[in-house]
Each structure stands twice: as C-alpha cells, then as structure tokens.
Structure 1
Amino acid sequence: MAPQPRHGVPEWVAPALKSVLERVAVTQTEVGDRFPLFADPGTGRWTTTGRGSWTGGFWAGLLWLRARYTGDDDARQAATTFTGRLANWVHADTAARGLIFWYGTALADTPESAALRDRAAHACRDAYDAELGLVPWGSAFGGPRLMARVDGVPGTVPLLATVDRQAAVTHLRRHLELCLGEGSFGWSWRYERPAGWVLCDDPSSGWSRGRAWLLLAVADAVHRLGADDLADITGHLIPARAVPLADKTHPGGPLDTSASAIVAVALLKLGHRERAVQVLEELVHTHLSGDGRLLDGCYDLTSGTATRHELIWGDFFLAYALAALTGLVETDDA
C-alpha cells in the first residue's frame, strides 16, 4: 500500500509518485498484452512491441511498483503475467539480459519470478567469456557478437553477481577500462583478432545515457559487492546538469530526462540523497506532465527516433527513485 510520508521528504514527492503510477494503469489499458516502448509527447499514445525488446523488464518493473503501491490483486496479476512473458529472452544472446531480467524481476515476490531470475543469471554466466573478461554484447539485436557496450553493464552486474560474484566484478571492470580508458568516454567497442578492442563511433562520446548507465552499474557494485574503490570514479560520471543534453556533441539538440532518472537512482544508491532530490525536483517540476508522463526523453538521436518522448525506462527509474524516497521500496531492492 502507499506508504506514509517519511520525515524530511519534500511534499512534491508523494503526489508525483501517485501521478506516475496512475499513468501506469492508463498505459496498461492502452497497450493490452503488448509492451510499451515510447509515447508521443502530444497524444501520449504508445509505440509498442510484442516481445518487450531490451525494455520489457522496465514495464514489468513498473507493474510491480504499482502492485506494491496499490496492494491490488489485479495489478499484481498483471505484473506476474508480464514478468513471465520475459522468459523468451533467457537464452537470447545479449548482455541486455541484465536490463531485461534484473529490473523485470527484482521487485517481484513470487517463486516463479525468482526462478526466472535465476535462469537468466545462469544464462549470463554461461555467456561469460573468460578471455575477454566480460559477457559479450551478443548477436540478438544484430551486428557483431563480440562487442562491449555500456548498456550491457547495468542490471547485468547485480544479476550476474547472484551466481558468480567474480564474473560480475570483472565484467564491470573490463567495461570501465574500455569506456574510461582513452582519456574520453567510449561507449561501444568491437573485438577483432588480432587487433583487439576497436572503438566504435556510435554512440558518440557525448551520449548522456552512457554516463548514466555506467554510473548505475558502479553504484550497484559499490552498494552490493563492496567495491568501495570504485566510488572515487563516480564524480567523473555524474553530469553537471540536472537534465543533460541527449548528446553533448549536439549542443542544440534535445535533452534526455531518462538519463537523469537513471542518475537519480544511482545517486540514491551511493548515498548522495541531496543531489538526487535536486535532479528529481527538476524532472518533476519541469518535465513531468499533469497526467504522470515524464517527457523530453530521447530514445535514439542518431536515427531521430523518439527524441522528445516519454520513455518506458525513464518512467521506471523516476518511479523507483520517488518510491525509494517515500519508503515504498529500498534502494537495494532493484
């Protein structure tokens, strides 16, 4: 059920959480048995997918948040159903299993969801390449299989750690070496023999979500795995602006509120509550619509896809951060 307000929580937090989770109910009615990806900023209408793609876990996670908030049996059943439908991705060849299964199951409280999470974690461990020191990005979404992408780290760190702590730590540290090792950010790398790792030019070094994803993964490593030595690098990853540009190399381009929502959760995990509240206040007061839609998210600037839209993972991380402030969840729940 909705928690009683915590002492010291800004008065705008609880109404904002209520609004976002009411939007989840509206979305559920609109999308039916499909998974929402992004919604038009004007009409609020969702573009959907049948199998969930790499974002399916965020929809399941939002449904679990709503079920916990309302205590409603129908909401719980919807969350259970969509979590079960993620099973098709267990054996997909992709490091995005971390995004799909960690966030899709971490807030669930059913034996079936726990079993699904365990299967996905073992599949990640089986995909771990000891020579490369990481779980490769994989071939499920096309392109070369032997890649390291920053979005293959968040979620994968805590998921993999449930079955192989050392593999989780090594997976993260190898990505840190690549992403931060050349004096500037590099978010995607291709492995070639005998050359080794080759930097890819997409996403660009200015991609705001690259920093956000990596910060979240580091926060989970510090928070869950006791990797305190990594805390020192977080300052390089926290953006100066509460809501950054989607890509700093395009100064006239759109913002990306979804990156801010990810950063807010990471900041809460790291104990930087005051900064997290500042970020969330900006999101709520400037970018959250009256009907609970977090606008101004950028799905993919390069292709021009949904550049000023509501994004399902933006909604999830905003809701999760707000829920953590109210006490509905704890920062180590997901």
Structure 2
Amino acid sequence: MWKQAIEDAIQKTRDNVQRFGNRFPHVSSSGKYELNDNEDWTNGFWSGMLWLCYEYTGDEMFRDAARLTVNSFRTRMDRHTVLDHHDIGFLYSLSSKAQWIVEKDEEARRLTLRAADVLLRRWREKGEYIQAWGLQGDPQHGGRMIIDCLLNLPLLFWAYEQTGDERYRLVAVKQADQSRRFLVRGDDSSYHTFVFDTSTGEPSGGATHQGYHNGSTWARGQAWGIYGFALAYRYTRDGAYLETAKRMAHYYCRNLPEDHVAYWDFNAPITPQTYRDSSASAIVAAGLLELLSHLEDSDKGRAALEECLTQSMESLVRNYSTVGDPGAEGLLKHGSYYVRGNAAPDDYMIWGDYYYLEALLRMDKGLKGYWYE
C-alpha cells in the first residue's frame, strides 16, 4: 500500500512541477491549487516535497526544481517579503536547510542561518515567548504565542548546532517550556494560542484563532504539539518533552472517529457536514513516527500509538488520498484550513500533502524530512 501511494505522489508532484512553474501552491479551490509568488507561510512545504522526491528518486528534475525554490527563498529574504511572523522555520527548514542536509551547499547553510536570526528577533523578553504574528506592539496580534511555533523551533536548535551560539538554543528551549506550561492543558488537550500583556508580560489566558472556541482542541494545533514536542526531545533529550508528546498523542488517538482521521476540532458538533482535517492526521502520522523512534519496545502505550499510526495512514491512503485519480493536483482530500473564517475548508492543503509524503517515505525508506540532520 505504501509503495503504491508513494509512486502516485511522486508522479503527481512531477506533473505539478510543470503545472506550477515558478509559483507556489497554497490551498485549493474546487480541486485546483491556488498559486502565489512566495509570500505566504506555506511555501516551504512545496520545496520540501521536491527535496523528498529527489531523495527518493534521484531524478535531477526534482533537484533542479527544488534549487529554484531555494533561489526564490533567497530573494524573499533579501527583500524581507512577508517575514513578520513566526513561520520562518516552515519556510526555510524545508527549503534552504533541506538543501544543506541533502547537498551540503554552503550558500544554503548561510541563508538558513539568516532565517534563524529573523525568527530570533521575534523573541519577547516580557513574557518570554516568540510572538506569532505582526510587528512588536501590534495592537491585534502583539502578545500572542501559538502552538504551531513548535515546528519552527528546529530551525533555532539547528542554528545552535551549526554555530554554538547559545542564544538560539536558549530561546528554543524557553519557547518549548512556555508552550508546555501555557498551551498544554491538564487533560493533555491544547490551546491554539495564549495571550500575554504586552506591557508587563503577564499571561492573560488561552484562546484560539482557528479552533471551534477558545477552550476547544483544534485538531491541527494538537498535531503541531505532538510532532513539535517530539522534535524538542530529539534536540534536547529533556524527558519532559517526550512525556508531553506521548500524552498529547494518546489524547489525539483516543478521540479519533471510526475512520481514524480527525474532524477539524475535537469539540466541534459532529454532523454529516462537519469538516475533517486530513492535514492534521498527516502531521500526526509524521509526528508519531518521530515519537515512536524514541520509545522503547517495552514502553507503556507504545502498541496503542503504533496501532493509531497504522490505522490513520491506511485510512488516509484508502479514503482520503487521490490514488487512482491521475489528474488530481493534490495528494490528500478533505483538509481544512480555516473553518471559522471559511477559508478553503475541505480541499487540498499543501502542508497536508507534505506531511503525508514525509510519513510515507519514512515508513517505506526511512527518509525523515528536514527538521533535523
């Protein structure tokens, strides 16, 4: 099953290189990807897919296309185009850092270190967190940290390993600690965001931007937490992060519906019209593979997580993938972007496609993606 799904994904990505040209897919509408000129938070996922395809196939067409995306990210950095957000790791870990990992290209390494510096500048001493969106003092977004940022911390950990500069490691560790303290609830569910007073740094409460309500558990947020804490453990070997990833993973798996693919929010009322989020399940699959790589065979709960992984991936391939539809642009149907804002629910999401491919390749070939070397 995995090989068939991989070959299908590789062929669709090959076709999309011609379809997309020098533009980047974001989310789809009516089965067609919306394309942009490298100015959104999602553009790194396309670059990451190209590097994965190159590693799997050895086909220089994928390498050449991936290199072109890195050139685009270099231009974006030089012009500082839409970089006033925390998603710098999503952009540069999967583009220039991927090129460094695959090819040891020195220019790619330098570009990735520049990206780490951009992310580092989002650190707020008052409150001790990385500000999610907007400029410092932004009246709407200032004072907000979000769980998604855990997947941007590998950029800082990597920069520390490359340079020995403690600033990168200290900020990454503190952000992970603050995420455990403020974003993970006592029942192992999670807030999407947490808000701090910008003048004093005092915490004021958990909230959501994309979930069903402030106290609900947004499925993709829980997914970021599972994978993010597992990666934080890989870099630090702090057992608290591993335990948090396990707890969040068990919560996620316990609350899945019968077909093992999540609804967009665990607290949303379930009706025949309730949206799924296949992209959240793809992130969790990749995160479970990382988490399981750190667990002993005797670890209590390991078998349940392995079963959850297998059931989710089988359902994604059988029920949500576009295997058997050669004209499809995306790999996974029924992703949800921003349901509350009515932004492209129930269609292709480029991050869903990336994590689905990453999980497939890790399961079949041991290719692990580009969050660490």
Q: Same fold (TM over 0.5)?
A: yes
Contact 2:320 2:334 (8 Å CA) reproduced: yes
Q: Which amino acid aligns with 2:275?
A: P
Match of 2:129 among 125, 130, 134: 134
Match of 1:170 among 167, 170, 174: 174
> Could you tell me which residue of structure 1 aligns to residue 308 of structure 2?
275
> Could you tell me which residue of structure 2 aligns to residue 6 of structure 1?
none
Q: For 2:174 and 2:44, how far apart are their aligned partners in 1?
A: 24
TM-score normalised according to structure 1 size: 0.87
Match of 1:285 among 318, 341, 346: 318
Does the alignment pair 1:107 with 2:98? Answer: yes
Contact 2:192 2:217 (8 Å CA) reproduced: no
Does the alignment pair 1:97 with 2:88? Answer: yes
Secondary structure of the corresponding residue to residue 174 of structure 2: helix
Cα displacement (A) at 1:153: 2.0
Q: For 1:39 and 1:85, how far apart are their aligned partners in 2?
A: 22
Task: Report the identity percentage.
Answer: 24
> Could you tell me which residue of structure 1 aligns to residue 145 of structure 2?
148
Cα displacement (A) at 1:285: 1.1
Greater Cα shift, 106-115 or 263-272: 106-115
Q: Which amino acid aligns with 1:18?
A: E
Q: For 2:33 and 2:194, how far apart are their aligned partners in 1?
A: 32
Q: For 2:235 and 2:92, how far apart are their aligned partners in 1?
A: 17
Contact 1:34 1:52 (8 Å CA) reproduced: no
Match of 2:27 among 13, 18, 38: 38
> Could you tell me which residue of structure 1 aligns to residue 285 of structure 2?
264
The change in CA–CA distance for 1:33 and 1:81 in structure 2 (over 3 A counts) is same
Deviation track 1:257-300 (CA, whole Å, cap 9, x = no partner) reads 10011001111111155532322111111111123621110011
Contact 1:68 1:328 (8 Å CA) reproduced: no
Contact 1:52 1:86 (8 Å CA) reproduced: no
List runs of 5+ in structure 2 lacking aligned partners: 161-167, 293-304
Match of 2:11 among 22, 31, 52: 22
The change in CA–CA distance for 1:20 and 1:171 in structure 2 (over 3 A counts) is same
Question: RMSD between aligned alpha carbons?
Answer: 2.2
Cα displacement (A) at 1:89: 4.7
Greater Cα shift, 193-202 or 49-58: 193-202
Deviation track 1:221-264 (CA, whole Å, cap 9, x = no partner) reads 11222122222223432212231100223223111010011001
Q: For 2:371 and 2:247, how far apart are their aligned partners in 1?
A: 26
Match of 1:244 among 254, 259, 262: 262
Contact 2:93 2:371 (8 Å CA) reproduced: no
> Could you tell me which residue of structure 2 aligns to residue 122 of structure 1?
117
List runs of 5+ in structure 1 lacking aligned partners: 1-11
Contact 1:34 1:51 (8 Å CA) reproduced: yes
Cα displacement (A) at 1:52: 4.1
Greater Cα shift, 12-21 or 114-123: 114-123
Cα displacement (A) at 1:198: 3.6
Secondary structure of the corresponding residue to residue 130 of structure 2: coil
Cα displacement (A) at 1:145: 3.0
Cα displacement (A) at 1:98: 1.7
Cα displacement (A) at 1:333: 5.7
Contact 2:275 2:346 (8 Å CA) reproduced: yes
TM-score normalised according to structure 2 size: 0.79
Greater Cα shift, 271-280 or 78-87: 271-280
